[in-house]
Homo-oligomer: A and B are copies of this chain.
Amino acid sequence: MTTTAPSGRRLNTSKAMAEAIAQEMRANPEVFYMGEDVGSYGGIFGSTGGLLEEFGPERIIDTPISETAFIGLGIGAATEGMRPIVELMFVDFMGVCLDQIYNHMAKIHFESGGNVKVPMVLTTAVGGGYSDGAQHSQCLWGTFAHLPGMKIVVPSNPADAKGLMTAAIRDDNPVVYMFHKGVMGLPWMAKNARSIGVVPEGEHVVPIGKAAIVKQGSDVTVVTLSLSVHHALDVAEQLEGEGISVEVLDLRSLVPLDREAILESVGRTGRLVVVDEDYQSFGLSGEVIATVAERGLALKAAPSRVAMPDAPIPYAQVLEYAVLPRHERIEAAIREVMG
């Protein structure tokens, strides 16, 4: 999918995301980016850094704090053939504008019998780990994925951030693009090592709906996504030394969910741990386990999940770190399924 061979050039995830947007905006005048503080601020999490300078305020557009109005505006513009990218600053704010998202953006194509397309990208920041409390730390991808009619992509690294953004902008369907603050490589937040990485310079497309095996292994499959991929990789690398061979599957997209990749990997390893920073129940972790169970795959151990407990996310660091699906809990779950 990569037309330029990966060079050594390294970018952080937010710059990789902005680069994809810039390239698509150069190529297609119908693309524009709209949201709160996406202009001179460059996006609270850097999603639009530098874009205002190149494209000006007609295409990189700051909005009032009126999510229902401006997301709806994006929908209407998309139905007229434009290709809006609209930023919901934190996914936690979905509650003030979910109707436009799930009853309109996601349903118009179906309700119109395919006659009206809504080629729109909704970008939004997710995730916790920096004590932002119960209203600014959620992932909620399970919520979005449960509601039909929108694709959901969740990059974990700079190259995928670029490639999935390119694919999302080109997709004729609404795509929700959820970027974890902890993978953006922001200067003002603890960075994980892989939030800066090699990113292809030219056109780079990562197809939506294909998971990636980011580490091969033979004993247990960790199905995960977003920031948790890195925690899983850290643990996998550490356990490798002990002779536990962990495969890490980065879902990259929830809708479509690459069920075949899950089944293929778990079919090989016979063990499954799902690591999910979203709330545990009625969400992604259950869906992944059910996917394996309903195919009747014979497992060597009961599958296990490491997720946010079904509780609001606490502020105090000691409490938040107790609920986040981080290294210790992942390691413990892997050891448990290994028996």
Contacts and interface: CB of A to CB of B under 8 A. Distances in A.
Interface of A: 68, 92-103, 106-107, 110-111, 133-135, 142-143, 145-149, 254-255, 257, 278-279, 281-287, 289-296, 301-305, 309-312, 314-315
Query: What is the total number of copies of this protein in its complex?
Result: 2
A254 B282 contact: yes
B310 A148 contact: yes
A111 B143 CA distance: 21
B103 A135 contact: yes
Contacts of A291: 286
Nearest to A141: B282
B282 A110 contact: no
Contacts of A278: 146
Residue from the set A145, A281, A292, A312 with the largest chain B CB neighbour count within 10 Å: A281
22 contacts: A94-B99, A95-B102, A103-B134, A103-B135, A106-B312, A110-B312, A111-B312, A142-B146, A146-B278, A146-B283, A148-B309, A149-B312, A255-B310, A281-B287, A282-B283, A282-B286, A286-B286, A286-B287, A286-B290, A290-B290, A294-B302, A294-B305
Nearest to A278: B146
A302 B312 contact: no
A220 to B, nearest CB: 15
Contacts of A94: 98-99
A207 to B, nearest CB: 19
Nearest to A98: B95
A293 B292 contact: yes
A96 B101 CA distance: 10
Given A94-B99, A149-B311, A282-B284, 8 more contacts: A146-B278, A149-B312, A255-B281, A286-B290, A287-B290, A289-B294, A290-B290, A296-B302
Given A143-B147, A147-B143, A294 B303 contact: yes
A142 B283 CA distance: 8
A290 B107 CA distance: 29
B98 A281 contact: no
A100 to B, nearest CB: 7
B148 A311 contact: yes
Contact of A145 (B281, B284, B303): B281
Contacts of A315: 111
Contact of A293 (B96, B143, B257, B290): B290
A151 B135 CA distance: 19
A281 B305 contact: no
A92 B103 contact: yes
Contacts of A68: 96
Contacts of A149: 311-312
Nearest to A281: B287
Contacts of A286: 282, 286-287, 289-291
Contacts of A255: 281, 310
Contacts of A295: 302
A100 B106 contact: no
Contacts of A106: 312
A319 to B, nearest CB: 11
Given A110-B134, A310-B148, A289 B279 contact: no
Contact of A146 (B148, B282, B296, B304): B282
